[in-house]
């Protein structure tokens, strides 16, 4: 099939080139409806070829796009020219996003002037994705909303489903899980209603991220793959889901089985980035099995592909994986060498990404400047040709200015009113976001530094001349245990890692960490039946416990801390007490941001927190958080 597709592509190019030369050599007759239809059919074929080759062979994709623009100019139809601009933008979207933005912007202007609704739907969707690339989520969401609205009018249900899916991705990136889940469900529902299996698979697979149970998540991904297999052009999505299934498997052999499946599809479809990702994941499964040679072979294959394709971002990850392999082999010097290489490549990858974003932003500004220049030129020409109407024009401008001023004033008043109403909750969210961001950076630094410190200490111990080798081995073992404990702590500090733990594992792990690090006794009471909580509630409750234990480690290290959870009247109630020295609870502001964060996080969850403390009488907290019932999914169950 792959060979046939390649031959078909070559034949199309030859035929198109031949048609072009024959057309140029012949005298140009009056255009007929048949000629225009032929151009339109040819553009549709080229559009499909660009979509199919833009990832696997971008150079060939751009050749198809160039040919499409030549044909459209020969046609002279606005509809064909818009389609050619869209094809051009699609071809450049893989590696040259500023050029892609230029062509999609031109397509939008021409589609607006020609009243081409269907084309505008596709253009808005692609412009939204490009704006998301630069981090302009506000404009991206607005364009996707426009895509959904227009696709309903034009009955372009595939693009409507894609837009909902993209919105879900944005909200998930912004940690708004409620809106993310809603949009993924909408994408699935629309796809199911219109038998759009590609979109069904993508939406159902994305919904699997909300499954806390690995078995259920794997089952959902398998159903998503079964949908994708019913559609054409899904060679890129299927192996990604197989890799996700492998990542969710706790057994190394099962994980390797799905990584291999992803690898086979990626090789067949000429998808080097997915091949690299599959090989990199296989490395850790081999490490779990202690098959170090196979791990190194997988890394070598991945490195060759990354170097060949110039994928610096993956090179950084691969060098980091190499370091983990050498740590497993107890070769600290080699591990440290690859960690430095990983850091160097990460900086290079970040610089390249930033450069691409700057170029895209510059392209956006350039388009806006050109539009302003065109508007100014048209205004000057209009003034020169209509001097007698200057009075009316200025009067209209003045009236318009007054209307706009009144509108802006009313908008500002309304906006200020809304700001006053939401000021407290907005301030709280900002503080929490800053804290989570700082914890994430601290966790990453802690994770990165730990490896180097443990390596250095281990090397120093190795050089010590101790009379008993068993003492040296025992010291090295304890150092490694310390390293693993610190890495575990860093994982639980990082918000991105919390989704890999259950609520009970997070709370229990935090209590165990404090006991190990401080020697403080923590008595935890967590009955069954309270752990199926929303992600936001899990995060904030975990951070509250973390803050309480951190304060306890500072002021109550030699006493006993008691923490209990109960479920009462659909409310989660957490009680905390210690027999430390206590403080004057009336002077909360003098005790730092920690206590204030507990109150703010409780407020964000719609709950109440009560603090009781006085000098010499310890500290007590009573925190009540309403349990929000998860909305039942409207998805139909599918038997696999």
- 10 Å CB burial of residue 40 (0-12, 13-18, 19+) is middle
Per-residue pLDDT at 20: 41
Domain boundaries, the chain: 1-115, 116-234, 502-626
Predicted confidence at residue 195, as pLDDT, reads 93
Query: Looking at the domain that runs over 502-626, which CATH code has it been given?
Result: 3.30.565.10
Residues in the chain with pLDDT values less than 70: 1-38, 353-391, 395, 417-456, 458-469, 471-472, 476, 478, 480-485, 487-499, 529-531, 557, 588-592, 628-640
The CA distances from residue 468 to 134, 177, 330, 477, in Å, are 60, 56, 21, 15
pLDDT at 11: 39
Residue 98 and residue 359 in contact, taking contact as beta carbons nearer than 8 Å: yes
Count how many Cα atoms sit within 13 Å of the Cα of residue 528 in the half-sphere of its side chain. Answer: 0
**Taking Cα atoms as reference points, which of 95, 99, 104, 12 lies closest to residue 49?**
12
- Other Cβ atoms less than 10 A from the Cβ of 264: the count is 14
User: pTM for the full model?
Assistant: 0.50
pLDDT of residue 162: 92
The pLDDT value given to residue 183: 93
State the pairing for strand pair 608-613/571-578. Answer: unpaired
Q: How far apart are CA 184 and CA 203, in angstroms?
A: 5
Which candidate, 294, 284, 351, places its Cα nearest to that of 320? Answer: 284
Q: In this structure, are residues 567 and 529 in contact, taking their beta carbons and an 8 Å threshold?
A: yes
Copy the structure tokens of residue 431: 């503080």
Q: Angle 58-75/33-53 helices, nearest 10 degrees? A: 170
Query: Contact 101/94 with Cβ under 8 angstroms?
Result: no
1-115: in CATH 1.25.40: yes
pLDDT for 404 equals: 79
Q: What is the pLDDT of residues 173-219, one digit of tens each?
A: 888 999 999 999 999 999 999 999 999 999 998 998 888 888 888 99
Q: Which residues touch 446 (CB under 8 Å, ≥6 apart)?
A: 486, 489, 490, 493
Tell me what pLDDT residue 270 has.
Answer: 84
Q: What is the DSSP string of 105-136?
A: HHHHHHHHHHT-HHHHHHHHHHHHHHHHHTT-
Question: Largest Cα–Cα distance in the chain?
Answer: 106
When the candidates are 1.25.40.10, 3.40.50.300, 3.30.565.10, 1.10.10.10, the CATH number that belongs to 116-234 is 1.25.40.10
pLDDT on residue 9: 43
The answer to whether residues 203 and 231 touch, using CB atoms and an 8 Å cutoff, is no
Give the per-residue pLDDT at 532: 72
> ∠ CA(286), CA(289), CA(292), 5° rounding?
50
The DSSP H or E segment spanning 504 is: helix 503-518
Pick from 193, 223, 231, 194: nearest CA to 207: 223
Q: Which residues sit opposite 497 in a β-bridge?
A: none
**Distance (Å, rounded) from C-alpha 501 to C-alpha 498?**
6
């Amino acid at each position: 099939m792959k060979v046939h597709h390649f031959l078909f592509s070559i034949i199309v190019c030859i035929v198109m080139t031949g048609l072009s030369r024959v057309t140029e050599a012949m005298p140009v007759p009056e255009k007929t409806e048949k000629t225009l239809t032929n151009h339109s059919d040819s553009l549709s074929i080229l559009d499909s070829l660009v979509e199919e080759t833009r990832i696997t062979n971008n150079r060939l994709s751009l050749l198809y796009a160039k040919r499409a623009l030549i044909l459209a100019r020969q046609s002279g139809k606005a509809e064909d020219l818009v389609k050619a601009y869209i094809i051009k933008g699609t071809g450049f979207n893989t590696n040259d996003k500023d050029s892609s933005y230029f062509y999609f912007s031109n397509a939008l202007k021409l589609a607006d002037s020609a009243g081409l609704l269907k084309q505008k739907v596709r253009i808005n969707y692609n412009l939204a994705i490009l704006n998301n690339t630069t981090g302009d989520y506000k404009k991206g969401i607005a364009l996707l909303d426009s895509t959904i609205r227009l696709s309903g009018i034009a009955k372009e249900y595939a693009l409507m489903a894609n837009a909902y899916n993209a919105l879900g991705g944005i909200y998930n990136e912004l940690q708004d899980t409620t809106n993310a889940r809603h949009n993924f469900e909408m994408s699935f529902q629309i796809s199911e209603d219109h038998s759009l299996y590609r979109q069904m698979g993508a939406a159902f697979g994305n919904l699997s991220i909300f499954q806390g149970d690995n078995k259920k998540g794997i089952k959902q991904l398998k159903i998503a793959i079964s949908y994708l297999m019913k559609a054409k052009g899904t060679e890129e999505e299927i192996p990604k889901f197989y890799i996700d299934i492998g990542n969710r498997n706790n057994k190394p052999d099962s994980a390797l089985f799905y990584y291999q499946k992803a690898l086979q599809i990626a090789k067949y479809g000429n998808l080097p980035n997915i091949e690299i990702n599959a090989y990199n994941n296989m490395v850790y499964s081999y490490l779990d099995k202690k098959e170090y040679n196979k791990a190194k072979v997988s890394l070598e294959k991945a490195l060759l592909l990354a170097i060949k394709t110039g994928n610096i971002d993956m090179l950084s990850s691969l060098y980091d994986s190499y370091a983990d392999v050498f740590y497993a082999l107890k070769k600290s010097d080699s591990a440290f060498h690859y960690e430095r290489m990983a850091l160097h490549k990460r900086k290079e990858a970040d610089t390249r990404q930033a450069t691409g974003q700057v170029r895209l932003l510059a392209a956006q500004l350039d388009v806006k400047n050109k539009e302003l220049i065109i508007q100014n030129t048209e205004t000057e020409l209009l003034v020169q040709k209509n001097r007698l109407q200057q009075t009316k024009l200025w009067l209209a401008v003045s009236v318009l200015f007054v209307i706009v001023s009144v509108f802006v004033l009313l908008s500002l008043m309304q906006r200020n009113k809304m700001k006053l109403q939401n000021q407290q909750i907005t301030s709280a969210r900002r503080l929490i976001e800053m804290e989570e961001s700082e914890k994430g950076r601290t966790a990453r630094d802690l994770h990165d530094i730990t490896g180097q410190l443990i390596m250095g200490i281990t090397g120093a111990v190795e050089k010590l001349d101790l009379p008993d080798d068993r003492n040296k081995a025992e010291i090295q073992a304890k150092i490694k245990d310390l390293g693993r404990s610190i890495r575990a702590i860093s994982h639980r500090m990082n918000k991105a890692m919390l989704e890999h733990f259950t609520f009970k594992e997070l709370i229990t792990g935090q209590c165990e960490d404090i006991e190990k690090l401080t020697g403080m006794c923590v008595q935890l009471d967590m009955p069954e039946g309270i752990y199926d909580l929303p992600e936001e509630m899990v995060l904030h409750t975990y951070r509250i416990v973390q803050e309480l234990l951190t304060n306890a480690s500072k002021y109550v290290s030699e006493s006993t801390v008691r923490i209990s959870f109960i479920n009462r009247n659909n409310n989660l109630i957490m009680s905390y007490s210690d027999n430390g020295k206590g403080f004057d609870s009336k002077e909360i502001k003098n005790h730092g941001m920690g206590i204030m964060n507990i109150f703010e996080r409780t407020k964000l969850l719609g709950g109440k927190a009560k603090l009781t403390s006085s000098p010499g009488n310890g500290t007590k907290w009573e925190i009540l958080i309403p349990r929000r019932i998860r909305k039942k999914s409207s998805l139909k169950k599918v038997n696999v």
